[in-house]
Amino acid sequence: MRERYFIVTYGCQMNVHESEKIAGLLRAAGYESADSQENADLIVFNTCCVRENAENHAFGNIGALKKLKKQKKNLIIAVGGCMTQEKGKAETLKEKFPFIDVIFGTLNLEELPALIQKKREEKKRVIKICEKEGEIVEDVKPFRTSFPNAWVNIAYGCNNFCSYCIVPYVRGRERSRKEENILAEIRLLVEQGYKEITLLGQNVNSYGNDLKDGSSFARLLDKAASIEGKFRLRFMTSHPKDFNADVVEVMKKHPKICRLVHLPVQSGSNEILRRMNRRYTAEEYLNKIQMLKSAIPQAEVTTDIIVGFPGETEEDYLQTEELVKKADFASAFTFVYSKRSGTKAAEMPDQVPEDVSKNRIMRLVELVNTLTRKKSETYVGKTVEILCEDYDEKKKAYLGRDEFGRMAYFPYPKNVVGRFVRVNVLTANGISLFGEVAEVED
């Protein structure tokens, strides 16, 4: 029987897709997936360090494996991802958890099978963290687990150095994949029946800046949307300073491109945006939304918002509330500022007290939820196209999202996962819609 792996993933969609790549590498090396940690011969932690909670969660779960490691002497435990790439964290892991067998970084993920083999042969712990980004490895075939959705990296790393963000330090500088490789991957996914493809990058709008061959995100998006077949095309994340009219024109041209843009604003205060090193103002941000909706009236925007950033006053916070109301977001992901060692913001003297941050996040969540519920209520009585993604056993209903990311549940007697379904929306509850099937695409 082949040895089995189990992957534990933390963090963003980028990490989820990287776990698919890890799975692909392991399967190519002869492993098969396990249904639990207890039944695995290899456990891989793909960590995140963007927020402290994710890091603490990972430490807790790694520590919990000490007992299992004692029971299974041949069990291999490998830890990789952003946390291991952070300065000093590999050494911390080494000292705190002597039972970890392999530690690897984000910049040498593709070496994992070889590092595991080295551990088995030499019977010693293996640690390899690359300090400098190398060439993009194109022959890693991910084992995709999210049908009918698929994620495609178009670039790695980040050049922006927002003062609160650890990403440039753990993922390196921006590196763009070649256009032809991205398009070939998308064509293959369409041939394989994937119905929603999301282009991924820390800042998709700066795609191609490092290639010096005329590549741009607008051109890539245009070519991707020109590929034949019925599928949706999404992209994330867009930095507001780089989101431009060229991209909007391509969105307007192609019905395949979802009319939803994730555009993280982070704050509505110009002073806080300056301290964050975001390089735009609240007014410029709102102008970008106006540019989008003037060209595509149906377009929607989602966002990320941080409260409690160092130096944030009550007036700064209220400016964020005001921007949320003006922007009319489809939804917003809200966070309390998380101090990350090594970033400029961590050194700022005027850290906001925890109780103040908690009060502000509660108020902001209430505002966002109220506005999101109102958006959901506008769906009632309408018929929307839903890409069916899964079946919910508890609700006894299929589920999927429309192009604006709104989740809908609907009963149906046949399996329609992976198919486009037109749903009559009967009720709305918070961010979710409930309805009945009007038509199923052949």
What is residue 135's predicted lDDT score, i.e. its pLDDT?
A: 76
Looking at residue 132, its pLDDT comes to 79
Distance between CA 319 and CA 25 in Å, rounded? 47
Structure tokens at 242: 């780089």
The CA distance from 153 to 177, in Å, is 8
Q: Binning pLDDT at 50, 70 and 90, where does residue 246 land?
A: very high
Whether 189 has a pLDDT exceeding 80, the answer reads yes
122 Cβ contact list (under 8 Å, min separation 6): none
Contacts of 351 (CB under 8 A, 6+ apart): 310, 339
What is d(CA 231, CA 335) in angstroms, rounded to the nearest whole number?
32
Q: What CA–CA distances, in Å, run from 353 to 20, 46, 280, 304, 319?
A: 39, 31, 26, 21, 19
User: How far apart, in whole angstroms, are the C-alpha atoms of residue 427 and residue 429?
Assistant: 7
Report yes or no: 156 and 200 within 8 Å, Cβ to Cβ.
Answer: no
The 3 state secondary structure assigned to 149-185 is: EEEEECEECCCCCCCCCCHHHHHCCCEECCHHHHHHH
Question: Quick one: which H or E segment has residue 43?
Answer: strand 42-47
| Residue showing tokens 């599928």 | 231
* Contact status, residue 308 vs residue 276, Cβ threshold 8 Å: no
d(CA 200, CA 224): 13
For position 122, what pLDDT does the model report?
93
Task: Give the mean pLDDT of the chain.
Answer: 95
Report the distance separating Cα 266 and Cα 65, nearest Å.
Answer: 36
**Amino acid 308: pLDDT:** 98
Question: Does position 442 have pLDDT exceeding 80, yes or no?
Answer: no
Q: Of 87-96, 347-356, 382-391, where does mean pLDDT reach its minimum?
A: 87-96
How confident is the model over 377-392, as a mean pLDDT? 97
Q: How far apart are CA 86 and CA 89, in angstroms?
A: 6
Q: Decide if 404 contacts 258 (C-beta within 8 A).
A: yes
pLDDT at position 177 is: 97
Structure tokens at 306: 């941080």
CA–CA distance from 132 to each of 69, 87, 106 (Å)? 32, 13, 10
pLDDT of residue 12: 81
Q: What percent of the chain has pLDDT over 70?
A: 100
Distance CA 324, CA 364 (A): 9
Predicted confidence at residue 69, as pLDDT, reads 93
- pTM value is 0.94
In whole angstroms, give the CA distance from residue 193 to residue 146.
Answer: 12
**Helices assigned H by DSSP within 194-332:** 217-225, 245-253, 270-276, 282-295, 314-327
Q: Is residue 67 scored above 90 in pLDDT?
A: yes
Q: In the prediction, which pLDDT does 372 show?
A: 94
pLDDT at 52 over 90: no
Q: Is the bond leading into 237 cis (omega within 30 degrees of zero)?
A: yes
Confidence of residue 158 (pLDDT cuts 50, 70, 90): very high
